[in-house]
Amino acid sequence: MTNDRPMAGSIPLTFVEPRTIPTYATDHPALDSFGRRIDYMRISLTDRCNMRCVYCMPAVGMQFAPRPELLTNDELLLVIRAAAAAGFRKLRLTGGEPTLRQDLVELIRAMKAIPGIEHIAMTTNALRLRRQAKALKEAGLDRVNVSIDSLDPLKFRQMTRGGNLEEVWAGITAADEVGLHPIKLNAVIVRGMNDDEVVALAELTTRHRWEFRFIEVMPLTGVAGLAEDGVVSSAELIARIEAHFGPLLPYGQDPADPARRYRIPGAPGKLGFISAVTDPFCATCNRMRLTADGRLHLCLLRDDEVDLRAAIRNGASQDDVEQIIRHAVQLKPWGHGLPEGILPTLRGMSELGG
């Protein structure tokens, strides 16, 4: 997979407000200016969370959006219908922590009924999943990713600033039992915190049909200092795992999947390595992010946004919103600016959902 930039004009890297939107054809899926089909929307349902993970939120000083600034259910569903009309097929519900939404089951049922939406996944810390898994599955949720950064209860509590590992395991078990498959577990590996558990985390795939994904810590607002010394490259992680288990076997790769996938020989599960910092996957990016306050965030590690909430509250119709989404896709940058020293300053991970 290559990440070389194509020969094309530069994308304006400024905050974007939709004013005069060109008219785009509506008889084909949205393609960006580099020819990538953008069909996957990650939707932050809330910026609030019941944990305070060290790589996601600062210990103090978090300010959450007032409720009137968040999209209402009707506004959110309008955006999803418009996105589906523009060719978006896959949704991922994120946060903050999406299970904090009191109407989550009803929202998922309504989303799944929208023509064109083929798949709905959710990323969760699983603290509430034990009680919710069955209802979420029945409403139409297809599968879950669960964040689990340590197998040591004390270290887990320290990294999440209060998380209960036992409850997380109960949530994973419940998701497994009701069929929210394939289950993927995520760990953000931070040097000096949990990098000593890499082999133990990988070993889970020798006992379960889960996919365990190792994620490099990213320099987002509020935790950028952690990324200066905390990044453990995927290459280093693979070397540590292979030193214990032997050479990993490459596994089938979806070009749009950010994870490089492998399998420990003989293991029923899989491993994935997401290397946004040291080996970016911008060439095959197919996603956009919708923040809880109604902005389309065009690249996780840039600040560019298009304000859908303002358009809707100024009377934009579903067709209008579809045109704005298609315009935002055209404005999507090629990739992040970390190699050039450009860091995101607008939002933290808890507002973007990863």
The string of DSSP codes covering 13-26 is: -S-B--SSPPP--S
- Architecture of the 40-336+345-352 domain: Alpha-Beta Barrel (3.20)
**Could you give the angle at the alpha carbon of 71 between the alpha carbons of 50 and 160, nearest 5°?**
15
Which positions ≥6 away from 228 have C-beta within 8 Å? 219
**Are residues 136 and 108 in contact, defined by beta-carbon separation less than 8 angstroms?**
yes
Name the residue ranges covered by the structural domains of the chain: 40-336+345-352
323 contacts 316 by C-beta, under 8 angstroms: no
Residue 354, pLDDT score: 64
Neighbouring C-beta atoms of residue 59, cutoff 10 Å:
10
Residue type, 80: I
For residue 214, report the phi and psi dihedrals to the nearest 5 degrees. Answer: -100, 125
Q: Quickly count: other Cβ atoms within 10 Å of residue 74's Cβ.
A: 10
The predicted model scores a pTM of 0.91
Please list the pLDDT of the chain residue by residue as tens digits (354 residues): 344 443 333 333 334 455 567 788 888 899 999 999 999 999 999 999 999 998 888 777 778 889 999 999 999 999 999 999 999 999 999 999 999 999 999 999 999 999 999 999 999 999 999 999 999 999 999 999 999 999 999 999 999 999 999 999 999 999 999 999 999 999 999 999 999 999 999 999 999 999 999 998 876 666 656 666 788 999 999 999 999 999 999 998 788 888 999 999 999 999 999 987 788 888 889 999 999 999 999 988 788 899 999 999 999 999 999 999 999 999 998 877 766 766 666 776 777 776
* Residue 192 near residue 232 (C-beta atoms within 8 A): no
SS3 state of residue 253: coil
Residue 219 CA to residue 213 CA, distance in Å, equals 19
